[in-house]
Amino acid sequence: MNMPSHNQLKMETPVQFVKGIGPKRATLLKRVFIETVEDLLTYFPRRYLDRSQLTQIRHLKAGEEVTVMGKVLSCETVRGRVSRYMLLLGDGTGILQCVWFRGVHYISKVFQIGDRVAFNGKITYYHGPQLVHPEYDKISEEGESDPVHTGRIIPMYPSTEALSRSGLDSRGFRRILRGVLDSMTESIPETLSQEIIRNQKLVSLSYALANIHFPQSWKGLRQAQHRLKFEELFFLQLFLALQRKTNQVEKKGIVFQIVGEQTKQLVDRLPFELTQAQKRVLHEIRRDMKKEQSMNRLLQGDVGSGKTIVALVAMLIAVENGFQAALMAPTEILAEQHYINVHGWLEDLGVQVALLKGGQRESERREILRKMSEGEINIVVGTHALVQESVCFKQLGFVVIDEQHRFGVMQRAVLRQKGYHPDVLVMTATPIPRTLTLTLYGDLDISIIDEMPAGRKPIRTFWRKEDKRDEIYTFIRREIGKGRQAYVVYPLVEESEKVDLADATAGYEMLSKQIFPEYKLALIHGRMKAEEKEKIMGDFTSGGIHILVSTTVIEVGVDVPNATVMLIEHAERFGLSQLHQLRGRVGRGEDQATCILLSQYQLSDDAVKRLKTMVETTDGFRIAEVDLQLRGPGEICGTRQHGILDFKIANLITDESILTAARKETFQLVEADFHLEQFENQQLRDTYLKRYQEKMGLMKVG
């Protein structure tokens, strides 16, 4: 291959042909997913230093965010119980101390006495002004007059130790990117249509890329960031809008015409009145089921809000129209709970319900599969066993997927493909912040049950330290004395963590022999056989067990109205979503329920925030918002959604207004030009296909 000249660079040019990047640097850049000029141009600065707003050391005040420039007077690694790297900076007006507690080995190789450096950070005081883990930018003597490094606003780039060693620190990236932009700013192709650019008052892509790397002003930087955030969110929303339109236009689904006598009998015999929210959601689902297009709906509802009965009514409508229904749950204990509920409600109505899960006797499994394939079974409840190749339905028309975030996209697709475009209802008791809903499930219609059943009292939540343990046990004993039941939950992040499992086992032994010997206790965890778990849960539900000691296996699906107390041991080790799900196991009857979060004394700031949030609110959506702030979208959605939320510049916490605008534009565009064939949309179409070629087809299933 002939090496292109510097002024022939294009977005798709491999980075090894960029001036200043040879094969060795190209290999290092590939590790951070930079392989082309486009990747390089979209490797955005993590922050900026404003060298026109320097603060003299003598004017520093605690709490201020400042940029200080001066000369390194001394620097050394201080060994001790906690090693740290100390640096003294002077600017002629005073001395500033900079300190690092992390990355000491690396940072000790960065500075030498006499270096000129710009530091940025928040000032604290410890025997004088101090910066802890500041941002920094080294300034060479010639760099004093180099506009790449001394302009008004200086970009600071993320780097790794290996990149920095090869000269690709912030200074190295600035030098290379300046050359790239100088050679191709005029040839950067526009990706959006002129109509969208006008509608949203966006700057051009060339201007945005130039000013994201070398801003001429803070206003120019804000305009660049807005344009690039909009573009990133626009193409994701376009992806979702096209999936949704494809489902509406190209997929002929099943028309469920009737609501029969069995469905009416089920609703009439319910021992409670459906909430207005449940009625509204049922109306939305029923409206979808009557259409020719396949339903693709997300049902959100907080723990205990009554999602299951809504799904049950919808499945029964499908059965009365001559089709089969399937309900897939992520764990055996949840599948078993669903089966007990569904079978209990429908047994007298002549509806045949079966449970399919791993570990069943082969003869039992074969018989269930035969009846499913011949249409003798109307509703099948199961785990991921439902998506195995040997599972066949005679006429699958309705699919319910519970706790959908626990399934991979392909598992959901396989189950859907076992019918002919069945209606799909995916449910979650994990409230999802609006920005995440629009991002992950923008191709689904969304229903929300935002009302709890009548008579439910809010769960009281208390955060206690170890010194209150005896008082907690007294409270549990008092509740059991009133005829109620309790959970004691131990952390279990993964079933393979033997230490955590030992905690639960040891806790059970201690509680049953030393603390509550007069009561009946049982231990349940994920390693038990299904029959054993089923028996224990049955005994607990019937009141034969006073205290259930458990791991997080009871996080979802367990419904025991008489259980009014939950004690969560080591609550600081649980995530917010987990704590909220666990708390939802109590408060399912009319009696006042209490959740006690027991923690150790030394807690991280995030752990304190989680526990305080749990005490302050039982609103699942508020909890989800805090969770999003603490963990970020990728963590909340899990690795199964990897690639969908890999944003380079957009932030789902702060950019909701941009997301909403991008969504509006994409859905209008798809309505007007579904196949993106109009001339003004050609470049937009090419960009979309290039960015989403690998992901196409994955998110059609919800």
- Percent of the chain exceeding pLDDT 90 equals 41
298 has pLDDT over 70: yes
pLDDT (0 to 100) of residue 638: 44
Please, which residues have CB within 8 angstroms of residue 501's CB and are 6 or more apart in sequence? 492, 495, 525, 527, 551
pLDDT, mean of residues 670-689 = 88
Average pLDDT of span 385-393: 83
Asked whether the beta carbons of 41 and 180 are under 8 A apart, the reply is yes
Mean pLDDT is lowest, of 108-122, 146-160, 169-183, 381-395, for 146-160
Question: pLDDT tens digits, residue range 393-427?
Answer: 999 999 998 876 555 555 666 777 787 888 989 88
Q: What is the DSSP string of 41-72?
A: HT---SEEEEGGGB--GGG--TT-EEEEEEEE
pLDDT at 492: 63
Determine which of 121-125, 428-432, 492-496 has the lowest per-residue pLDDT on average. Answer: 492-496
State the pairing for strand pair 135-139/485-489.
unpaired
Share of the chain above pLDDT 70, in %: 88
CA distance 217 to 598: 51
Looking up tokens 């229904």 gives 325
Banded pLDDT at 150 (limits 50, 70, 90): low
pLDDT value at residue 616: 94
Query: How many whole angstroms separate alpha carbon 585 and alpha carbon 488?
Result: 11
pLDDT digits (tens, 9 = 90+) for 436-489: 777 767 767 888 888 877 777 889 999 999 889 999 999 999 999 999 999 999
Which range is least confidently modeled, 73-87, 417-431, 505-519?
417-431
Compute the radius of gyration of the chain from its Cα atoms.
30
CB 334, CB 556: distance < 8 Å = yes
pLDDT for 5 equals 53
- State the maximum Cα–Cα separation within the chain, in Å, rounded to a whole number: 90
Q: What is d(CA 155, CA 215) in angstroms, rounded to the nearest whole number?
A: 8
Residue 496 is predicted with a pLDDT of 46
For residue 481, the tally of other CB atoms under 10 A from its CB is: 9
Residues contacting residue 126 through CB under 8 Å, at least 6 positions apart: 97
Amino acid at 208: A
Q: For 166-211, write each residue's pLDDT tens digit.
A: 888 888 899 999 999 988 866 788 999 999 999 999 999 999 999 9
In this predicted model, what pLDDT tens digit does every residue of 208-257 receive, in sequence order? 999 999 998 899 999 999 999 999 999 988 988 887 787 777 667 899 99
Q: What token pair was written down for 577? A: 């979503």
Please tell me the distance from the alpha carbon of residue 601 to that of residue 624, in angstroms, as a whole number.
25
pLDDT value at residue 697: 46
Contact partners, residue 361, CB within 8 Å, separation at least 6: none
Tell me, rounded to whole angstroms, the distance of Cα 404 from its chain centroid. Answer: 13
Residue with tokens 């949840």: 334
Q: What pLDDT does 50 receive?
A: 76
Segment 128-144 mean pLDDT:
78
Distance CA 219, CA 99 (A): 33
CB 489 within 8 A of CB 569: yes
**What integer best gives the mean pLDDT of the chain?**
85
Q: Is the pLDDT of residue 538 over 90?
A: no
Phi, psi (rounded to 5 degrees) for 8: -110, 10
Q: Which amino acid is present at 620?
A: G
Q: How many C-beta neighbours within 10 Å does residue 347 have?
A: 11
pLDDT digits (tens, 9 = 90+) for 543-555: 999 999 988 777 5
Strands in 296-301's sheet, in edge-to-edge order, are 353-356, 379-382, 324-328, 396-401, 423-428, 296-301, 445-449
Give the span between the Cα atoms of 462 and 595, in whole angstroms.
6
Which structural domains are found in the chain, ordered by start? 47-156 (2.40.50.140), 213-250+648-701 (no CATH), 261-290+306-428 (3.40.50.300), 460-617 (3.40.50.300)
410 compared with 20, residue with greater pLDDT: 20
Chain segment 612-637, per-residue pLDDT in tens: 999 999 888 788 888 877 876 655 44
Read off the pTM: 0.68
Extended beta strands in 541-632, E state? 547-550, 563-568, 594-599
The C-alpha angle 383, 385, 386, rounded to 5 degrees, equals 85
User: Among candidates 152, 190, 154, which has minimal Cα distance to 173?
Assistant: 154
Strand ranges of the sheet holding 95-100, from the earlier edge strand across to the other edge: 124-125, 129-132, 95-100, 84-90, 65-78, 116-122, 135-139
Helix 307-320, helix 276-289: angle, nearest 10: 30
Closest by CA to 195, choosing from 650, 683, 651, is 683
Residue 116 in tokens: 């000129």
Strands 324-328 and 396-401: parallel
* Residue showing tokens 């302009």: 151
pLDDT at 28 over 80: yes
N residues, the chain: 702
